[in-house]
């Protein structure tokens, strides 16, 4: 029963919250739809935390998504031992990077009185959740080797069963508890996404690349000149 | 020709007494909220001095403004792709320490302290963290410290002077200074607009006021680093950038901006300028020394029938054209040519102009009394304040620009002196006019505008089409007799 709730129901609850509350917040309070930067208050430690954190976590997320979305191609990619070892080592290095970077970011918020003053309760919850997520992730990578391979046969089918609205919780129920924790915590992150500063992940300013430098806004359409 | 209107300002530096009334008016109205305490949309600096934030003019440090790369204009902090690449950490962003940490005092300790043998004190505490702190800087920390080896000597403009000029500037009993009030320049080639990844910053078409859409702003802070004047500020409590709005809600109600209205020295003039927006990019590419003159070229004569025709075709309202004809800014900048932009070499084409200060340049020490130097024109060369320094501030290093302004200002004085003191021959006055290039009427008009005009002549707020401004945000029918403007939500994060 607990397995059913955690692996079969909670993911849907989390996603519904993310989408529902996310849209609600965007329409009602667009003003807050960003991550509140603290670089103005402290810049040096942020450099060593924020940069490695963002680039490493983006690559790790990319790997997770690729293995989930295109398991067959991912499997083929890992077919050769050389590539498998390369990805395993890279993944582990990136994982450890995120962990160190996150610890820097957390300590920065504890130690620096200015940054501490602008840290909210939900920020602390988010940091703790993220720390749990990357720590379990790194622990899994070290203790349960070749995750790139077994993910394709366990987690990927579970996620696809969720997509098909036919949750097959057995895939996850038979995995070690640490993997279960990692998976449930991932959906917990999805659940708190709309309530926290995590909303900033959907504001990617790509349109900047295509727009002209200057923007002029008129009250009304000008007459043709 | 793409004619646009710009609400433009002129600050007459000879009249500024450095009282900071403008700063206080602005602070009370707009930036007295948490997270904004350190922001001074209007501040007054002592020159020579390091300013606020410290050494803001040094773009090797702050990397604001534009630079020329081949035939292209590029933001000094980097191109578009490079800007996107810096969204996780902006290496050029100034931190609070470049401005100052806002502080207050624990006043409650004065009354709550237990009885003891010494006087209770109110310790300074940070307005950010609430913890006790050591006050080490403030918004006008080098106020009036013109001879300071810590502040004035580190003025980025002073550092560029020769050893001899620096000695001239710091000579005992000849120390010199003037005040430089600064607000947002509402540039026509604004670097803040260009750098915003979210596209939240825009220039209002009708009046050229540059604003940040607070709902669109995602707090990437690129505008803070790219503005060479450091006039966009990051609100650390809201996670949004804010800047001078030229009091547009006041202007829409027909009132002068608060800093203009409160100015004790009456140094501030406001009026509409018509300019040709098609020329912006060409002009921004000119050589440093040519920029001030080129910018004057961009500004159009509001009495020229062809300009009026083009303006009407471009959709400019009739009232705006009329306001442009009554504009004191047009007179100062174009007709008389005595107002120059601040640091035109940043290439943002700022629309706030300054009449450079004449008195600190010409006055010499004479038995304890200040006296305008006897030989007006040759004294420009041995000015107390090196002209090179002023040219660095107002003309991209072009001394001729500054000299031309001073010749006119001096001619005004000679003509007035001939009239009121009567110790000058007509020949001398005629020579002064000739050198200045202005006729007697123009010189009189400058004198009048500088010293006798009342607020309605100094500050010509154009009818700002408030009904249209409101229409963009809400139904005007519901708005009748209402107060305020647009968004009425408190600037506060609720998530």
Find chain B residues with C-beta within 8 A of A195's C-beta.
495
Contact B44, B16 (CB under 8 A): yes
Q: Which residue of B has its CA nearest to A203?
A: B218
- Note the pLDDT tens digit of each residue in B189-222: 999 999 999 999 999 988 999 999 998 999 999 9
- Of B132-146, B228-242, B421-435, B450-464, which range is least confident? B421-435
In this predicted structure, what is the pLDDT of residue A222? 58
* Count of domains observed in chain A: 1
A164 within some domain: yes
Residue A120 to chain B, least CA–CA distance (Å): 9
Q: Which residue of B has its CA nearest to A121?
A: B495
Q: Which of B75, B236, B248 would you mutate first to test chain A, the one with the most A CBs within 10 A?
A: B236
A149 within some domain: yes
Taking an 8 Å cut-off on Cβ atoms, the answer to whether A43 and B93 are in contact is yes
- Note the pLDDT tens digit of each residue in A160-174: 999 999 999 999 999
Give the predicted TM-score (pTM) of the model.
0.92
User: Model confidence at B460, in pLDDT bands (50, 70, 90)?
Assistant: very high
Taking an 8 Å cut-off on Cβ atoms, the answer to whether A41 and B189 are in contact is no
A220 within some domain: no
Residue B361: pLDDT above 80?
no
In this predicted structure, what is the pLDDT of residue B372? 47
* Chain B 3-22, residues with CB within 8 Å of chain A CB atoms: 4
- Note the pLDDT tens digit of each residue in B282-309: 999 999 999 999 999 999 999 999 999 9
A216 within some domain: no
Q: What domains appear along chain B, each with residue ranges and CATH number?
A: 1-100+137-356+459-495 (3.30.70.20)
In this predicted structure, what is the pLDDT of residue B368? 41
B318 contacts chain A (CB < 8 A): no
Find chain B residues with C-beta within 8 A of A36's C-beta.
219, 238-239, 493
Q: Which of A198, A203, A208 would you mutate first to test chain B, the one with the most B CBs within 10 A?
A: A208
Residue A173 to chain B, least CA–CA distance (Å): 35
pLDDT > 90 fraction of chain B, expressed in percent and rounded: 74
User: Model confidence at B423, in pLDDT bands (50, 70, 90)?
Assistant: confident
- Of B171-175, B194-198, B255-259, which range is least confident? B171-175
Greater pLDDT, B337 or B249? B337
pLDDT > 70 fraction of chain A, expressed in percent and rounded: 98
A116 within some domain: yes
User: Model confidence at B367, in pLDDT bands (50, 70, 90)?
Assistant: very low
Taking an 8 Å cut-off on Cβ atoms, the answer to whether B314 and A29 are in contact is no
State the count of interchain CB pairs (< 8 A) between A and B: 149
Taking an 8 Å cut-off on Cβ atoms, the answer to whether B93 and A40 are in contact is yes
CA distance B320 to B463: 7
User: Model confidence at B173, in pLDDT bands (50, 70, 90)?
Assistant: confident
Mean pLDDT of chain B: 90
B217-228: average pLDDT: 96
Assembly ipTM: 0.91
- Note the pLDDT tens digit of each residue in B17-28: 999 999 999 999
A223 within some domain: no
- Note the pLDDT tens digit of each residue in B45-76: 999 999 999 999 999 999 999 999 999 999 99
Residue B273: pLDDT above 90?
yes
B190 contacts chain A (CB < 8 A): yes
Of B91, B129, B220, the CB nearest to A205: B220
In this predicted structure, what is the pLDDT of residue B382? 66
- Note the pLDDT tens digit of each residue in B72-81: 999 999 999 9
Domain that includes residue A187, residue range: 2-210
Residue A223: pLDDT above 80?
no
In this predicted structure, what is the pLDDT of residue B358? 85
Taking an 8 Å cut-off on Cβ atoms, the answer to whether A39 and B93 are in contact is yes
Residue B227: pLDDT above 60?
yes
Domain of A172, CATH number, reads 1.20.950.20
Find chain A residues with C-beta within 8 A of B95's C-beta.
39-43
In this predicted structure, what is the pLDDT of residue B377? 59
A224 within some domain: no
A215 within some domain: no
Q: Which residue of A has its CA nearest to B188?
A: A214
User: Model confidence at B489, in pLDDT bands (50, 70, 90)?
Assistant: confident
In this predicted structure, what is the pLDDT of residue B370? 40
Residue A48: pLDDT above 60?
yes
Residue A1: pLDDT above 60?
yes
Residue B96 to chain A, least CA–CA distance (Å): 6
Of A50, A211, A216, the CB nearest to B89: A50
Residue A10 to chain B, least CA–CA distance (Å): 23
């Amino acid at each position: 029963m607990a397995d059913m709730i955690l692996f079969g129901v909670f993911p849907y609850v989390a996603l519904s919250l993310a989408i529902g509350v996310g849209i609600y917040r965007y329409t009602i309070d667009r003003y807050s739809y960003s991550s509140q930067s603290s670089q103005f208050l402290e810049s040096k430690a942020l450099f060593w935390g924020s940069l490695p954190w963002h680039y490493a976590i983006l690559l790790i997320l990319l790997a997770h998504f690729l293995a989930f979305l295109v398991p067959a191609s991912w499997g083929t990619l890992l077919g050769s031992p050389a590539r498998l070892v390369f990805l395993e080592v890279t993944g582990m290095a990136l994982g450890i990077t995120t962990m160190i970077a996150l610890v820097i970011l957390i300590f920065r918020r504890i130690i620096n009185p200015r940054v501490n003053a602008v840290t909210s309760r939900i920020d602390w919850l988010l940091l703790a959740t993220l720390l749990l997520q990357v720590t379990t992730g790194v622990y899994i990578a070290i203790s349960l080797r070749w995750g790139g391979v077994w993910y394709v046969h366990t987690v990927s089918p579970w996620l696809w069963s969720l997509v098909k609205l036919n949750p097959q919780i057995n895939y996850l129920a038979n995995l070690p508890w640490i993997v279960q924790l990692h998976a449930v915590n991932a959906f917990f992150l999805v659940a708190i996404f709309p309530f926290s500063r995590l909303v900033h992940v959907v504001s990617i300013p790509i349109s900047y690349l295509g727009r002209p430098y200057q923007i002029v806004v008129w009250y009304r359409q000008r007459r043709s000149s | 020709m793409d004619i646009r209107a710009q609400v433009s300002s002129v600050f007459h530096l000879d009249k500024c007494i450095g009282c900071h009334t403008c700063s206080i008016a602005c602070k009370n109205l707009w930036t007295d909220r948490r997270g904004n305490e350190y922001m001074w949309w209007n501040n007054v600096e002592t020159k020579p001095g390091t300013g606020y934030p410290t050494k803001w003019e040094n773009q090797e440090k702050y990397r604001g403004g534009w630079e020329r790369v081949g035939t292209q204009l590029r933001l000094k902090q980097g191109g578009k792709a490079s800007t996107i690449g810096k969204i996780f950490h902006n290496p050029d962003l100034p931190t609070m320490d470049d401005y100052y940490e806002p502080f207050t005092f624990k006043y409650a300790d004065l009354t709550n302290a237990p009885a003891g043998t010494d006087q209770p004190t109110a310790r300074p505490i940070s307005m950010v963290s609430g913890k006790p702190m050591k006050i080490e800087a403030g918004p006008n920390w080098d106020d009036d410290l013109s001879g300071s080896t810590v502040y004035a000597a580190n003025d980025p403009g002073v550092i560029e002077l020769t050893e001899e000029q620096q000695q001239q500037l710091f000579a005992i009993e000849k120390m010199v200074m003037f005040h430089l009030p600064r607000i947002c320049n509402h540039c026509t080639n604004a670097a803040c607009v260009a750098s915003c990844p979210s596209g939240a910053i825009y220039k209002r078409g009708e009046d050229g006021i540059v604003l940040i859409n607070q709902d669109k702003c995602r707090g990437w802070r690129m505008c803070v680093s790219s503005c060479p004047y450091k006039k966009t500020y990051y609100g650390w409590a809201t996670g949004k950038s804010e800047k001078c709005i030229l009091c547009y809600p006041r202007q829409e109600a027909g009132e002068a901006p608060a800093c203009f209205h409160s100015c004790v020295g009456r140094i501030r003039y406001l009026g509409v300028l018509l300019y040709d927006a098609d020329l912006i990019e060409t002009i921004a590419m000119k050589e440093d020394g040519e920029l001030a003159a080129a910018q004057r070229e961009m500004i159009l004569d509001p009495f020229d029938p062809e300009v009026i025709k083009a303006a009407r075709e471009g959709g400019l309202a009739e009232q705006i054209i009329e306001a442009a004809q009554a504009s004191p800014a047009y007179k100062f900048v174009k007709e008389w040519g005595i107002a120059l932009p601040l640091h035109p070499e940043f290439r943002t084409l700022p629309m706030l102009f300054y009449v450079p200060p004449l008195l600190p340049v010409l006055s010499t020490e004479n038995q304890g009394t200040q006296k305008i130097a006897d030989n007006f024109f040759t004294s420009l060369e041995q000015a107390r304040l090196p002209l090179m320094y002023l040219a660095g501030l107002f003309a991209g290093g072009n001394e001729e620009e500054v000299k031309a302004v001073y010749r006119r200002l001096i001619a005004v004085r000679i003509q007035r002196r001939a009239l009121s003191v009567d110790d000058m021959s007509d020949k001398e006055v005629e020579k002064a006019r000739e050198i200045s290039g202005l006729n007697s009427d123009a010189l009189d008009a400058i004198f009048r505008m500088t010293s006798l005009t009342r607020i309605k002549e100094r500050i010509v707020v154009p009818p700002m089409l408030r009904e249209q401004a409101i229409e963009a945000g809400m139904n005007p029918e519901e708005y009748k007799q209402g107060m305020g403007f647009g968004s009425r939500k408190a600037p506060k994060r609720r998530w």
